[in-house]
Amino acid sequence: MNAPALSEQKVLTGKRRWIALAFLSLGVAMIILDATVVNVAIPSMIKDLNLTTNDAEWINAAYSLTFASLLILSGRLADRFGRKLLFIIGIIIFVGASVLVAISDSSIHLIAARALQGVGAAMILPASLSVINAVFVGKSRAIAFAVWGATIGGMAALGPLVGGWLTTYASWHWAFLINLPIGIIVLIGVLLAVPETRDLLGRKGVDLPGTLLSTFGLLGIVFALIEGQRYGWLISTAPFKAGPLTWDTGRLSLVFISGVLGVIALLALILVETRRAAAGKIVILDLRLFRIRSFAAGNGVAVVVSLGEFGLLFTLPLFLQAVRGYNALETGVILLALAIGSFFASGAGAPISQRVGPVRVLQLGMLLEVIGILGLGFVISPEITGWGLAPWLFLYGMGVGFATAQLTGVVLSEVPVADSGQASAVQSTSRQVGAAIGTAILGTTLLIGLGSAVTSQLEARGIPTAQAQEVSQAVASSAGQAIPGLASAPGGDVLVEGASAGFAQATKLVSWVAGFFVLLGLLTSLLLPKNTARVLSEGYAPPKS
């Protein structure tokens, strides 16, 4: 394991430290706000830019991919070159990318800008933690980390409301342009109030091979999961064009090739990281940490649970706006039930954990998540109201609150203090990997479900098969946003009714698949040691993202 590095500390006192914390927390709030805003804004983006369902998946997946791939590397760069410096660079990149998202006029530009946002976010999050750790000591450090964590929770709750309000009463563009004034305020505040710190004796160098292999490995797998339905899983069923590259039908699918290359890259990552660690070189992923039972099983739980959590939050707003006709603000209000449940459980989790242990609270949380998600699957229908969804969303939110609050502590409970920084970064990365893959899997599940469900529902209402398939294709490719427009076609009422019923049926399928992933996470948690005890050092507090 890596030896601890001596960290340059510039302890702040008096009001200045809390002013510094306010601006650091505001920077973190901006990226959390953006991550939650996008789900309620996506339906409007689809209609405005004529995006496909695959494009919508990439809007989330591109962000999570770059975030996950660069999180560990960014933490190391911050320690070496300066935490304040990397935080500022991250803010500049994130704000600039937000403006590019807002002015995007095509799916390519939009997805590229979202990927760039992920780069900035990957710099902001670890740098903010490192700065707090370096400039606060004692009880004030604990308070600072509590404020940092509360900021994440608060913005996760406010995000859908803010995004919904801006999208409804201004446009989806302003849901991203709001980052410009916030970013300027953060930049000025950090420049004036936050001192520069870095590791004085830290080991030099970065793990470029590991970073590239992990990035391309994840990209290959996510591309295969998202694009398989469009281009064919094994044999190419549609021509693929990207610049000078053309891949015709009838050949071995690029989707299959991409998936295989992604797996090979991740296997190569394991080999490369093992050899680099044995040679005493810097690694982004110290595989020896996975010999620790709680760390290995806990990260497995983080990935699998995130598959269900993030994928469901991608598909549910699509259903609410396409089928139920809610606007973005109304969608945000409905999702507030989830946030309220999470807040309630986060506060109740600590005292319960002291009595029964963090693993039991984690398992209780995942059990509540499973019940909430499966409940959503059973009650979703074209006629369901927000009030009908709210109890299940509240229960699901309680599960998220219980599980998230305990998971980081469980994962790090047996990790040596010297390795806690890298270990916490791996845990955060695991959640982002789960987010990217979960969006891809559940987005593809939605597409497959729509293809069969809409067609069968329309045929059951007397629509000819050819027309039913044509409508089904339009609904699937637009993530349901074509449904309201069907009302103006001949027999429009029947078309809307059948398409809505099919979309509800596909959303049920997504809920059940999401519930399966969280249930798998619950079963994985049985591998965790029962007597897991949290180990905290004065110089460390875990992130909650």
Mean pLDDT for 68-94 is 88
Q: Are 477 and 398 in contact (CB under 8 A)?
A: no
CB 486 within 8 A of CB 494: no
For residue 513, what are the contacts with CB-CB under 8 A and spacing of at least 6? 308, 311, 441, 442, 445
Taking each helix axis from N to C end, the angle separating 465-477 and 420-460, rounded to the nearest 10 degrees, works out to 160
Report the pLDDT value the prediction gives residue 372, as an integer from 0 to 100.
95
> 């400039």: which residue's tokens?
135
Tell me the percentage of the chain whose pLDDT exceeds 90. 40
From residue 367, alpha-carbon distances to 101, 303, 371, 441 in Å are 37, 16, 6, 22
Mean pLDDT for the stretch of residues 170-199: 91
Q: Examine the pLDDT at 6 and tell me if it is beyond 60.
A: no
Phi, psi of 375, deg, nearest 5: -60, -40
Rounded Cα distance between 39 and 107, Å, is 16
Condensed to tens digits (0 to 9), the pLDDT of residues 203-255 reads: 667 788 988 998 899 889 988 888 887 888 888 888 877 767 778 777 888 88
> Distance between CA atoms of 266 and 218, rounded to whole angstroms?
8
Exposure string of 312-334, with b = 16+ CB inside 10 Å and e = fewer, is bbbbbbbbbbbbbebbbbbbbbb
Checking if the pLDDT of 138 tops 80, the result is no
Domains of the chain: 10-204 (1.20.1250.20), 207-281 (no CATH), 289-442+511-530 (1.20.1250.20), 452-508 (no CATH)
Please return the burial class of 386, using the count of CB atoms within 10 Å of its CB with bins 0-12, 13-18 and 19+: middle
83 pLDDT higher than 90? no
Q: Is the pLDDT of residue 420 over 80?
A: no
Closest CA to 172 of 56, 23, 308: 56
pLDDT of 533 above 50: no
Task: Decide: 309 and 407 in contact? Cβ < 8 Å.
Answer: no
Task: Report yes or no: 511 and 380 within 8 Å, Cβ to Cβ.
Answer: yes
* DSSP sequence for 224-265: HHHHHHHH-SSB--S-EEETTEEE-TTSBPHHHHHHHHHHHH
How high is the pLDDT of residue 531?
62
On whether the CB atoms of residues 128 and 101 are closer than 8 A, the answer is: no
Backbone angles phi, psi at 246, to 5 degrees: -130, 130
pLDDT at 12 (0 to 100): 57
DSSP assignment, residue 7?
Answer: B
Residue 49: other Cβ atoms inside 10 A: 15
Question: Taking all residues of the chain, what is their mean pLDDT, rounded to a whole number?
Answer: 85
Global pTM value: 0.84
pLDDT of residue 534 exceeding 50: no
Give the pLDDT confidence score for residue 418 in this predicted structure: 61
Coil, strand or helix: which one is 88? helix
Dihedrals φ, ψ of 7, to 5°?
A: -105, 135
> Cα separations (Å) of 294 from 68, 331, 528, 529?
21, 38, 5, 6
Q: What is the pLDDT of residue 294?
A: 87
Q: Would you place residue 404 in the very low, low, confident or very high pLDDT band (cuts 50, 70, 90)? A: confident
Are 171 and 44 a contacting pair, CB within 8 Å?
Answer: yes
Q: Which residue has the higher pLDDT, 286 or 377?
A: 377
**pLDDT number for residue 269:** 93
pLDDT at 127 (0 to 100): 86
Residue 417's pLDDT band, with cuts at 50, 70 and 90, is low
Model pLDDT for residues 65-79, shown as the tens digit of each residue: 888 888 888 877 887
Sign of CA dihedral 402, 407, 413, 416: negative
Q: How do residues 303-323 score in pLDDT, each as one tens digit?
A: 888 888 777 888 899 999 999
Computed on alpha carbons and rounded to an integer, the radius of gyration of the chain in Å comes to 23
How does strand 245-247 pair with strand 240-242? antiparallel
Q: How far apart are CA 62 and CA 223, in angstroms?
A: 10
Query: What CA–CA distance (Å, rounded) separates 335 from 161?
Result: 9
Distance between CA atoms of residues 121 and 101, nearest Å:
14
Task: Report pLDDT digits (tens) over 388-403.
Answer: 999 999 999 898 888 8
